[in-house]
Amino acid sequence: MNSSTDPQTTAAMQAFIQEENQKAAVQQIISKLTDTCWDKCMGKPGNKLSSWETDCISNCAERFLDTSIFIVQRMEKQAQSRNGI
Amino acid sequence: MASEPSQDEVFLRVRRQLQEQQMEELVRAMTDKCFEKCVKKPGKSLSTSEQQCIAKSMDRYMEVMALVFNTVARKAQS
């Protein structure tokens, strides 16, 4: 394990872990949205996505992200007003 | 005696393992969704129409995932 203490090796390792973590986080969001929006939007599987399904999926993905942002912001506001008292 | 793997080799192996995990997760998700959609009343075997439905469902699942990815990417840029 003497190679792992080399600073250059450690830096490369940290960069690798950070990159893989970021990739995993993106993949997790994509999987979650695919799962949720599939349930909301998909009818009987056809030969291609209908235009209604396409619109529904992209609206679903965007609004899910908006909802997540909204909730974070609202909780921040609530925390601020509690601290302000 | 086998030499110790280089760091690049280790990274490559880890990356490959992560990709395998991701593939397993995709198979799990597809099985879940396509079974739900296509096998309403499980019989003695998968019927031809159930198999056709599952095949379409798999293709649509990939299409939905790509669409979600593009939508998120577009939103992240704006």
B59 chain-A contacts, CB cut-off 8 A: 45
Q: Give residue A9's domain range.
A: 2-84
Enter the ipTM.
0.88
Residue B5: the pLDDT is 84
A61 chain-B contacts, CB cut-off 8 A: 67-68, 71-72, 75
Residues A57, B18: C-beta atoms closer than 8 Å? no
Q: In CATH terms, is domain B7-77 a member of 3.30.300.20?
A: no
B14 chain-A contacts, CB cut-off 8 A: 16, 20
Number of structural domains (chain A) is: 1
- Per-domain residue ranges of chain B: 7-77
Residues B29, A45: C-beta atoms closer than 8 Å? no
Is residue A85 pLDDT above 70, yes or no? Answer: no
Tell which phi-psi region holds residue B3, choosing left (phi > 0), alpha (psi between -120 and 50) or beta. beta
Is residue A4 pLDDT above 70, yes or no? Answer: no
Residue A2: the pLDDT is 52
Residues 6+ apart with CB under 8 A from A28: none
Residue with tokens 């192996």: B13
Chain B touched by A42 (CB under 8 Å): yes
CATH of the domain at A49: 1.10.287.810
Q: What is the pLDDT along chain B (78 residues), one digit of tens a residue?
A: 677 888 889 899 999 999 999 999 999 999 999 999 999 999 999 999 999 999 999 999 999 999 999 999 999 898
Residues A30, B65: C-beta atoms closer than 8 Å? yes
